[in-house]
Amino acid sequence: MQSFRTELENPVVEQDIIDLEKKIRAFREGKIHDEKFRSLRLARGVYGQRQPGVQMVRIKLPFGKVTFQQLLRIADVSDEYASSNLHLTTRQDIQIHYVSLDRTPQLWAELERDDITLREACGNTVRNVTASPTAGIDPKEPFDVSPYAHAVYEFFLRNPICQEMGRKFKISFSSSDEDTAFSYIHDIGAIPKINDKGERGFKIALGGGLGAQPLLASIVEEFLPEDQLIPYIESVIRVFDRYGERNNRNKARLKYLIQKLGLEEVLRLTKEERIANKVKTYPINRDAIEAPVLPVTTTYPEVEITNPLRYEQWLATNVFEQKQKDFYGVFIKVPVGDLSTDTTRKLVEVLRPLVADEIRITQNQGLLLKYVRKEALPALYSGLTDLDLSAPGFDSPADVTTCPGTDTCNLGISNSMTLSKVLEDLIYNEYEEFIYNREIKIKISGCMNSCGQHGLAHIGFHGSSLKANGKVLPSVQVLLGGGTVGDGFGRAADKVVKVPAKRATLVLRAVLDDYKANSIADETFHNYYDRQGKDYFYHLLKPLANLENLTDDEFVDWGHQETFATAIGVGECAGVVIDLVATLLFESEEKMGWSDQSFAKGNWADSIYHAYNVMISSAKALLLDKGSNSSTQAGIIKEFDAQYIDKGEFELDGTFADLVLQINKNEPSEEFAVKYRAAAKEFLEASKAKREAVA
């Protein structure tokens, strides 16, 4: 592997890539435990793929913003290192697949030339901060949330408080009360507000999440002043890091911590953490996001619209007036979120003279173009048509959200990508009137984990399996009635019935036919669903769950020719727990070095938090010798006192809790950093000595 020391201008990024290169080499040489290496690479956006020997690389694009040059750079990287395809995700990232692990440092270095990072795109970190794609041009927004999303992204990137949490942490910013960034399913969701004094702030939703057990967020702040946004998030993350589950990843999200401790206790602990915060107030630079470069062209070529009806449908469903006078936003529906690199380059060529140099990836795996003049719309439509990217019905039932499913994901049970295309074709061919419906959302996941957001769908499906005639049958769980209500509130979809996967089309027909026949004029799908009731839909769809009349074709999944067989790998959305004593003590020494580096730079809060982790890791190492594997940092603190201090097996001036929890009783000053670091070094050395004596 080549070195990148002289090739990158940013020394922090350069060191990140050099570290990854070294860790890969050490892993290949057997010097790093497999589980520890997995955790490390995930935090660098490198994710194991269903196919052995190759990786998926997730590219982190804060709030989905990407320029023409960045998009071209990603296309070049995909050609050189991956499969010449770009996959747009529901979290506004771009994923590329079939990457060799050994080439990921070079790949990362290539992306960084255009300010694109992999850092903390996966793993137990603060994931990509998402936002309404229309932020900045939304006619209904109180103000542009983009600078706030950007500030949160910058503040928590590489922040020591969120590098090794029990699981991932997700943050969203909606542009208005319509809540198009789904605040109610995030660990923290923010909705912009302006108070009676004209001041900016946010309504805060806390503790939401989808997954196999959807839980909706609670509204905890009606108006949080803008300068308190980042301090508040920091305090919540500190609580999650200390008290969150670490052994059982199925219970390791913030929503479960709130269930365990209670919302009021979590809020009390959050308030208690404020004293340790790096900042007590954090003014947001509202000008941090530069206005996009507008096209200089103001005259456009005459084009012939060969299908005027289709063009009118496109205008009605994919185009809207921006809050900026005389400009339009244009959505592009991207089937299953996939763009080939060849199409990507041709797309940029079409867009350059017609739209602003800023594209937003949308939560339903499409694209949003900005600052399009009315006169440019025919030329834009024509160019998109040539690339098969002008389909109408963006964000309608004809625009089905899907995860990759069994195409590449370890956890996929059934093929969600092909099913998505089949359902979209069904809408266009049999229910064309629904392309104008922006309320009903259809979403599919390849498993129960809701990467395709089926848990918030009006009509949702997730991959599953059934047994019939002694064989395994590809199936889908049907969910109904979920979706956004608005202003921080939403609905989790109900599980209604499980049917063979090949009958998903019959399910969709049955539901839409019933909606057309039995809904009241202007009745929303939510009201229609509530009026009929879950049991009504169970009986409506129950005949489709009958396994006594199966055909041979139904034992073959969508997009496949062979008989279905489940082949689920190990998921990597969460990191793993390392139980090796020597590894933990080695990590403690490494963290002590990070503490020293932060201290040398005057970053007292970072230095203190690294020192805190030194003591936690060291204590956990010694507890393993006692057969104790506590699932939280708070538990480690309590157990160390019970197993070592109370029994006189480890000498401290007071309890371990007294020592380590000084962190949330002192301001992060230089004086406290000196004292706390010294205590951490002394504890580390004593722990190593204790270990050596036992060994």
Tokens at residue 583, please? 């590894």
Confidence at 36, pLDDT banded by 50, 70, 90: confident
Task: Give 43-87 pLDDT, tens digit per residue.
Answer: 888 888 878 888 999 999 999 999 999 999 999 999 999 999 999
Rounded percentage of the chain residues whose pLDDT exceeds 90: 78
Q: H/E/C letters for each residue in 82-109?
A: CCCEEEECCCCCEEEEEECHHHHHHHHH
- Say which residue, 693 or 215, is predicted with more confidence: 215
**Residue 179 domain-assigned?**
yes
Q: What pLDDT is stored for residue 613 in this prediction?
A: 96
Query: Which distant-in-sequence residues (6+ apart) come within 8 Å of 465 by Cβ?
Result: 413, 414, 472, 473, 474, 475, 564, 566
Dist. CA 77–CA 82, nearest whole Å: 7
Average pLDDT on 595-616 reads 97
Is the per-residue pLDDT at 666 higher than 80?
Answer: yes
Task: Give 282-325 pLDDT, tens digit per residue.
Answer: 999 999 999 999 988 788 989 999 999 999 999 999 999 999 99
Is the per-residue pLDDT at 572 higher than 60?
Answer: no
Q: Both 102 and 184 in a single domain?
A: no
Q: What pLDDT is stored for residue 7 in this prediction?
A: 61
Q: What pLDDT is stored for residue 407 in this prediction?
A: 66
Is the per-residue pLDDT at 575 higher than 60?
Answer: no
Q: Both 421 and 374 in a single domain?
A: no
Confidence at 411, pLDDT banded by 50, 70, 90: low
Q: What pLDDT is stored for residue 413 in this prediction?
A: 75
Q: What pLDDT is stored for residue 8 in this prediction?
A: 67
Q: Both 81 and 159 in a single domain?
A: no
- String of DSSP letters for 296-340: S---------S-HHHHHHHHHHHEEE-SSTT-EEEEE--GGGEEE
Rounded percentage of the chain residues whose pLDDT exceeds 70: 95
Confidence at 574, pLDDT banded by 50, 70, 90: very low
**Residue 376 domain-assigned?**
yes
205: number of Cβ within 10 Å: 29
Say which residue the tokens 């590449």 belong to. 408
**Burial class for 657, CB neighbours closer than 10 Å (0-12, 13-18, 19+):** middle
Dist. CA 233–CA 263, nearest whole Å: 15
Q: Both 419 and 548 in a single domain?
A: yes
Q: Cβ distance 59 to 112 under 8 Å?
A: no
**Burial class for 325, CB neighbours closer than 10 Å (0-12, 13-18, 19+):** exposed
Dist. CA 639–CA 637, nearest whole Å: 6
**Residue 124 domain-assigned?**
no
**Residue 394 domain-assigned?**
no
β-pairing, 171-173 vs 188-194, is parallel
Tokens at residue 252, please? 């390791």
Confidence at 38, pLDDT banded by 50, 70, 90: confident
Dist. CA 2–CA 383, nearest whole Å: 41
Q: Both 146 and 108 in a single domain?
A: no
Structural domains in the chain (count): 5
- Please name the helix (run of DSSP H) or strand (run of DSSP E) that holds residue 411, with its range, or none: none
CA 517 to mean position of chain CA atoms: 38
Q: Both 525 and 431 in a single domain?
A: yes
Confidence at 278, pLDDT banded by 50, 70, 90: very high
Strand partners, 444: 402, 461
Q: What pLDDT is stored for residue 143 in this prediction?
A: 98
Q: Both 443 and 523 in a single domain?
A: yes
- Residue where a domain terminates, one of 112, 139, 157: 112
Q: Both 546 and 439 in a single domain?
A: yes
366: number of Cβ within 10 Å: 22
Pick the range with the lowest mean pLDDT from 26-40, 182-196, 220-234, 425-439: 26-40
Backbone dihedral region of 592: left (phi > 0), alpha (psi from -120 to 50 degrees) or beta? Answer: alpha
Q: What pLDDT is stored for residue 692 in this prediction?
A: 84
Dist. CA 603–CA 677, nearest whole Å: 13
Q: Cβ distance 380 to 347 under 8 Å?
A: no
Tokens at residue 297, please? 């062209």
Average pLDDT on 533-551 reads 96
- Say which residue, 220 or 8, is predicted with more confidence: 220
Q: H/E/C letters for each residue in 356-378?
A: CCCEEECCCCCEEEEEECHHHHH
- Is the pTM higher than 0.85? The answer reads yes
For residue 221, give the 3-state DSSP assignment.
strand
Confidence at 456, pLDDT banded by 50, 70, 90: very high
Dist. CA 464–CA 487, nearest whole Å: 33
Dist. CA 655–CA 626, nearest whole Å: 18
Tokens at residue 247, please? 């052994």
Pick the range with the lowest mean pLDDT from 456-465, 561-570, 633-642: 561-570
Task: Give 497-534 pLDDT, tens digit per residue.
Answer: 999 999 999 999 999 999 999 999 999 999 999 999 99
- Please name the helix (run of DSSP H) or strand (run of DSSP E) that holds residue 612, with its range, or none: helix 604-624
Is the per-residue pLDDT at 686 higher than 70?
Answer: yes
- Residue where a domain terminates, one of 276, 299, 330: 276
Task: Give 458-494 pLDDT, tens digit per residue.
Answer: 999 999 989 998 888 999 999 999 999 999 999 999 9
Q: Which amino acid is at 644?
A: Y
Average pLDDT on 170-177 reads 98
For residue 169, give the 3-state DSSP assignment.
strand
**Residue 469 domain-assigned?**
yes
- Residue where a domain terminates, one of 221, 256, 276: 276
Confidence at 547, pLDDT banded by 50, 70, 90: very high
Q: Cβ distance 616 to 599 under 8 Å?
A: no
The CATH number of the domain where 601 resides is what? Answer: 1.20.120.330
Q: Which amino acid is at 494?
A: D
Confidence at 32, pLDDT banded by 50, 70, 90: confident
Is the per-residue pLDDT at 577 higher than 80?
Answer: no
Is the per-residue pLDDT at 211 higher than 80?
Answer: yes
Query: Which distant-in-sequence residues (6+ apart) come within 8 Å of 106 by Cβ?
Result: 1, 2, 81
Tokens at residue 528, please? 């229609």
Confidence at 448, pLDDT banded by 50, 70, 90: confident
β-pairing, 459-468 vs 442-445, is parallel
**Residue 30 domain-assigned?**
yes
Q: Cβ distance 496 to 458 under 8 Å?
A: no
Q: What pLDDT is stored for residue 375 in this prediction?
A: 95
Helices 525-532 and 504-518: crossing angle in degrees, nearest 10, is 90
The CATH number of the domain where 155 resides is what? Answer: 3.30.413.10
**Residue 395 domain-assigned?**
no
For residue 188, what is the DSSP state? Answer: E
CA nearest neighbour of 43 among 419, 677, 656, 574: 574
Q: Cβ distance 276 to 668 under 8 Å?
A: yes
CA nearest neighbour of 588 among 686, 662, 692, 671: 686
Dist. CA 652–CA 659, nearest whole Å: 8
Q: Cβ distance 380 to 365 under 8 Å?
A: no
Confidence at 412, pLDDT banded by 50, 70, 90: low
Query: Which distant-in-sequence residues (6+ apart) come within 8 Å of 427 by Cβ?
Result: 393, 396, 397, 398, 434, 435
Q: What pLDDT is stored for residue 245 in this prediction?
A: 96
**Residue 573 domain-assigned?**
no
- Please name the helix (run of DSSP H) or strand (run of DSSP E) that holds residue 484, with its range, or none: strand 483-486
Dist. CA 239–CA 506, nearest whole Å: 47
Q: Both 84 and 205 in a single domain?
A: no
Query: Which distant-in-sequence residues (6+ apart) come within 8 Å of 195 by Cβ?
Result: 201, 223
Q: Cβ distance 612 to 663 under 8 Å?
A: yes
Q: Both 185 and 96 in a single domain?
A: no
Is the per-residue pLDDT at 608 higher than 90?
Answer: yes
**Containing structural domain, residue 656:** 581-694
Is the per-residue pLDDT at 579 higher than 70?
Answer: no
Q: Both 342 and 473 in a single domain?
A: no
Say which residue the tokens 């769950």 belong to. 545
Average pLDDT on 569-589 reads 62
Q: Both 526 and 465 in a single domain?
A: yes
- Please name the helix (run of DSSP H) or strand (run of DSSP E) that holds residue 473, with its range, or none: strand 471-480
420: number of Cβ within 10 Å: 27
Q: Which amino acid is at 162?
A: C
Task: Give 330-353 pLDDT, tens digit per residue.
Answer: 999 999 999 999 999 999 999 999
- Please name the helix (run of DSSP H) or strand (run of DSSP E) that holds residue 607, with its range, or none: helix 604-624
